[in-house]
Structure 1
Amino acid sequence: MIAKLKQFLKEFQDIPDPQQQAHSINLAAACMLLEVVYADEKLDGAEARLLPEVLEQNLGISATDCSTLLEEAKRNRNNATSLFQFTSIINENFSLEQKQQLVLSMWQLAYADGELCRYEDQIIRRSADLLYLKHSELIQLRNRAIENPGH
């Protein structure tokens, strides 16, 4: 009886707090977007303006929450060892459409300064691969970003 109670309590403790889980998902998405922004090692003004807008649109968060999330994402991004730690969270929690929207936003950020750096391209392609998106989807999303930058 005590063993069953201990097992129940352990399982109960393992249930993640929904608010914390949502924050972790948003943080992973923000970190992925920052990887693109900082791929060329400079934050262009157009990228800096577009980033909060993209986050608010993709994640449905307020401007205040977006600002706080970006600060935390900048700290986490520096400690990241690979994109996998972000994409694994996204894969577990995003629908196909949400993943596509995230990659579209990555392309929009990459083209925001008017030029695509090869490192931005590599990060987006690697991310799309880790998110299990088809190559044809990746190209369609890139073309949409080129045709409608920032939207």
Structure 2
Amino acid sequence: MIAKLKQFLSELQETPNPEQQAHQLRLAAACMLLEVVFADEEMSADEASMLPTLLAQTLDIDSTEAQALIEEAKQRGSAATSLFEFTSVINDNFSIEQKQQLVLAMWQIAYADGHLCQYEDQIIRRCADLLYLKHSELIQLRNKAMA
């Protein structure tokens, strides 16, 4: 597991190509959204239909790229050892507004099926903490997603 984390981080450090770095960043964001989706161990039809749209809006990409990113994130996320793999990349590259947009998308996907699972809530709170967002921001984003 530690070897996989080292490999993931070294890939990011060794990648001089800005396009590849941008892809790794988008992949990390997609993995975080998928963590919320699979927190309750199932992907509802509402979550499945909302995920590409939220990803496209959050990362400013087209729906085809969003769908490809989701498929890649499913593979990458299953090999992940912790949320830190993803949040560290996000912290290094996202502005506070982009982090807030990502957490908002996480809340929206969590509420997509009509109810919030305790595990979804826990993952979002952990991610927000790792992204250095204030608790008040987290609550505001949750309330915005519920509206």
- Fold match (TM-score > 0.5): yes
* Secondary structure at 2:40 match in 1: coil
String of CA shifts for 1:75-101, please: whole Å, max 9, x gaps: 000000000000000000000000000
Q: Partner residue of 1:59?
A: 59
1:134 matches 2:134: yes
Residue type at the aligned position of 1:17: N
1:34 matches 2:37: no
* Secondary structure at 1:20 match in 2: helix
Q: Partner residue of 1:120?
A: 120
Find runs of 4+ consecutive structure 1 residues off by over 4 angstroms.
none
TM-score normalised by the chain length of structure 1: 0.87
Q: Give the whole-Å Cα distance in 2 for the aligned partners of 1:16 and 1:102.
A: 25
User: What is the RMSD of the two structures over their aligned residues, measured on CA atoms?
Assistant: 1.2
Check 1:116–1:15 CA distance in 2 against 1; reply closer, same or farther (3 A cut): closer
How many pairs does the alignment contain?
A: 135
Check 1:114–1:15 CA distance in 2 against 1; reply closer, same or farther (3 A cut): closer
Gaps of 5+ in 2: 1-13
Q: Give the whole-Å Cα distance in 2 for the aligned partners of 1:81 and 1:114.
A: 29
- What is the Cα deviation at residue 15 of structure 1? 6.2
Q: Is the contact between residue 91 and residue 131 of structure 2 (CA under 8 Å) also seen in structure 1?
A: yes
Q: Give the whole-Å Cα distance in 1 for the aligned partners of 2:54 and 2:130.
A: 21
1:71 matches 2:76: no
> Percentage identity across aligned positions?
67
Q: Give the whole-Å Cα distance in 2 for the aligned partners of 1:67 and 1:146.
A: 25
Alignment of 1:81-100 (within 5 A): 81-100=81-100
Q: Give the whole-Å Cα distance in 1 for the aligned partners of 2:17 and 2:57.
A: 24
- What is the Cα deviation at residue 109 of structure 1? 0.4
Q: Give the whole-Å Cα distance in 2 for the aligned partners of 1:35 and 1:41.
A: 10
Q: Partner residue of 2:9?
A: none
Gaps of 5+ in 1: 1-13
